[in-house]
Structure 1
Amino acid sequence: MFHSKDSRDTAPDATAVAALTRTAAQTLTEQLAERFAARIRDRLLAPGARLPSVRQCAAQHGLNPSTVVAAYDLLLAQGLVEARPHRGFFVRERAPLRDADAAAPAAAPAALRRAAPLSAATLIRGMFHPSGSLPQPGMGVLPPEWLESSFMPAAVRKVSGQKALAESSLRYGEPMGDGHLRRVLAARLQSLGLPADPTQIITTVGATHALDIVSRTLLKPGDAVMVEEPGWAVEFARLDALGMRILPVPRGPAGPDLAVMARYCEAHAPKLFVSVSVLHNPTGYCLSPASAHRVLQLAQQHDFHIVEDDTYSHIAPEHATRMSVLDGLRRTIYVSGFAKILAPNWRVGYLVAPPELTERLLDTKLLATLTTPSLLERALAHCIESGQLRRHAERIRTRLDAARSRSVKLAQAAGCRFVAEPSGLFGWVDTGVDTEALAQRMLDEDYLIAPGALFHAARAPSTLMRINFATTQDAAFWKVFRRLVAS
Structure 2
Amino acid sequence: MFNTPDASPGDALASAPALSRTAAQTLAVQLAERFAARIRDRLLAPGARLPSVRQCAAQQGLSPSTVVAAYDLLLAQGLVQAQRYRGFFVRERTPLRGTGAGRAAPAPGAESSDRMAAPVNAAALIRGMFHPAGSRPQPGMGAFPPDWMVSTFMQAAVRRVTTGPALADNSLRYGEPLGDGQLRRVLADRLQVLGLPAGPQQIITTVGATHALDIVSRTLLKPGDCVMVEEPGWAVEFARLAAMGMRILPVPRGPAGPDLAVMARYCEEHAPKLFVSVSVLHNPTGYSLSPASAHRVLQLAQQHGFYVVEDDTYGHIAPEHATRMSVLDGLQRTIYVSGFAKILAPNWRVGYLVAPPDWVERLLDTKLLTTLTTPSLLERALAHCIEQGQLRRHAERIRSRLDEARGRSVKLAQAAGCHFVSEPAGLFGWVDTGVDTEALAQRMLDEGYLIAPGSLFHAARAPSTLMRINFATTQDAAFWKVFKRLAAR
Whether TM-score is above 0.5 comes out as yes
Partner of 1:271: 273
Distance change (3 Å), C-alpha of 1:67 and 1:91: same
**2:119, 2:458 within 8 Å by CA — same for their partners in 1?**
no
Partner of 1:6: none
CA shift at 1:118, angstroms?
A: 5.7
The correspondence of residues 343-358 of structure 1 with structure 2, limited to 5 A, is: 343-358=345-360
Identity %: 83
Partner of 2:165: 163
Q: 1:232 and 2:234 equivalent?
A: yes
**Separation in 1 of the partners of 2:34 and 2:177?**
47
1:51-100 CA-to-partner distances (Å, cap 9, x unmatched) read 01111110110000100010011011111100011000000112389547
**Separation in 2 of the partners of 1:35 and 1:178?**
47
**Separation in 1 of the partners of 2:126 and 2:226?**
25
Partner of 1:76: 75
1:115-164 CA-to-partner distances (Å, cap 9, x unmatched) read 12362110000000011210000000000000000000000001111311
Q: 1:402 and 2:401 equivalent?
A: no
1:348-376 CA-to-partner distances (Å, cap 9, x unmatched) read 00000000000000000000000000000
**2:418, 2:431 within 8 Å by CA — same for their partners in 1?**
yes
Partner of 1:283: 285
CA shift at 1:38, angstroms?
A: 0.3
**Separation in 2 of the partners of 1:272 and 1:178?**
28
Match of 1:188 among 169, 187, 190: 190
CA shift at 1:25, angstroms?
A: 2.4
**1:314, 1:341 within 8 Å by CA — same for their partners in 2?**
yes
Partner of 1:34: 33
Distance change (3 Å), C-alpha of 1:207 and 1:16: closer
**1:147, 1:341 within 8 Å by CA — same for their partners in 2?**
yes
**Separation in 2 of the partners of 1:240 and 1:447?**
28
**1:97, 1:115 within 8 Å by CA — same for their partners in 2?**
no
**Separation in 1 of the partners of 2:408 and 2:455?**
26
Partner of 2:65: 66
Distance change (3 Å), C-alpha of 1:251 and 1:197: same
Q: Match for 1:398: what amino acid?
A: S
**Separation in 1 of the partners of 2:131 and 2:117?**
26
Match of 2:326 among 319, 324, 327: 324
CA shift at 1:392, angstroms?
A: 0.2
**Separation in 2 of the partners of 1:160 and 1:480?**
47
> Higher mean Cα deviation, 63-72 or 95-104?
95-104
**Separation in 2 of the partners of 1:450 and 1:98?**
31
The correspondence of residues 292-441 of structure 1 with structure 2, limited to 5 A, is: 292-441=294-443
Q: Match for 2:291: what amino acid?
A: P
**Separation in 1 of the partners of 2:25 and 2:91?**
25
The aligned length equals 470
The correspondence of residues 7-156 of structure 1 with structure 2, limited to 5 A, is: 18=13, 20-95=19-94, 99=107, 102=110, 111=115, 114-117=116-119, 119-156=121-158
**1:47, 1:117 within 8 Å by CA — same for their partners in 2?**
no
**Separation in 2 of the partners of 1:326 and 1:126?**
37
Partner of 1:261: 263
Distance change (3 Å), C-alpha of 1:279 and 1:153: same
Q: Secondary structure at the match of 2:37?
A: helix
Q: Secondary structure at the match of 1:246?
A: strand
Partner of 2:488: 486
1:5-62 CA-to-partner distances (Å, cap 9, x unmatched) read xxxxxxx9xx996462124421100110000000000000111000011111101100
Q: Secondary structure at the match of 1:366?
A: helix
**Separation in 1 of the partners of 2:119 and 2:320?**
36
Q: Match for 2:309: what amino acid?
A: V
Distance change (3 Å), C-alpha of 1:379 and 1:98: farther
Q: Match for 1:411: what amino acid?
A: A
**Separation in 2 of the partners of 1:117 and 1:311?**
21
**Separation in 2 of the partners of 1:427 and 1:103?**
34
Q: Secondary structure at the match of 1:146?
A: helix
Q: Secondary structure at the match of 1:470?
A: coil
Q: Match for 2:63: what amino acid?
A: N
The two structures, once aligned, show a CA RMSD in angstroms of 1.7
Q: Match for 1:29: what amino acid?
A: A
CA shift at 1:317, angstroms?
A: 2.0
Match of 1:172 among 171, 174, 194: 174
Partner of 1:7: none
**Separation in 1 of the partners of 2:487 and 2:176?**
54
Q: 1:476 and 2:475 equivalent?
A: no
Q: Secondary structure at the match of 2:215?
A: helix
**Separation in 1 of the partners of 2:34 and 2:72?**
14
**Separation in 1 of the partners of 2:105 and 2:398?**
43
Distance change (3 Å), C-alpha of 1:381 and 1:101: farther
Q: Match for 2:361: what amino acid?
A: E
Q: Secondary structure at the match of 2:461?
A: coil
**Separation in 2 of the partners of 1:341 and 1:110?**
35
Q: Match for 2:43: what amino acid?
A: L
Q: Secondary structure at the match of 1:333?
A: strand
1:400-447 CA-to-partner distances (Å, cap 9, x unmatched) read 000000000000000001000000000000000000000000000000
**Separation in 2 of the partners of 1:98 and 1:411?**
44
Q: 1:200 and 2:202 equivalent?
A: yes
**Separation in 2 of the partners of 1:119 and 1:98?**
22
**1:181, 1:381 within 8 Å by CA — same for their partners in 2?**
yes
**Separation in 2 of the partners of 1:258 and 1:77?**
49
Q: Match for 1:360: what amino acid?
A: R
**2:47, 2:120 within 8 Å by CA — same for their partners in 1?**
no
**Separation in 1 of the partners of 2:455 and 2:119?**
10
**Separation in 2 of the partners of 1:327 and 1:276?**
15
Q: Deviating runs (4+, > 6 A) in structure 1?
A: none
Q: Secondary structure at the match of 1:33?
A: helix
> Higher mean Cα deviation, 17-26 or 451-460?
17-26
**2:11, 2:447 within 8 Å by CA — same for their partners in 1?**
no
Q: 1:442 and 2:441 equivalent?
A: no
What are the ranges of 5 or more consecutive residues in structure 2 without an aligned counterpart? 95-103
**2:114, 2:461 within 8 Å by CA — same for their partners in 1?**
no
**Separation in 2 of the partners of 1:155 and 1:16?**
43
TM-score for the superposition, normalised by structure 1? 0.94
**Separation in 2 of the partners of 1:16 and 1:64?**
21
**1:335, 1:351 within 8 Å by CA — same for their partners in 2?**
yes
Partner of 2:213: 211
CA shift at 1:384, angstroms?
A: 0.2
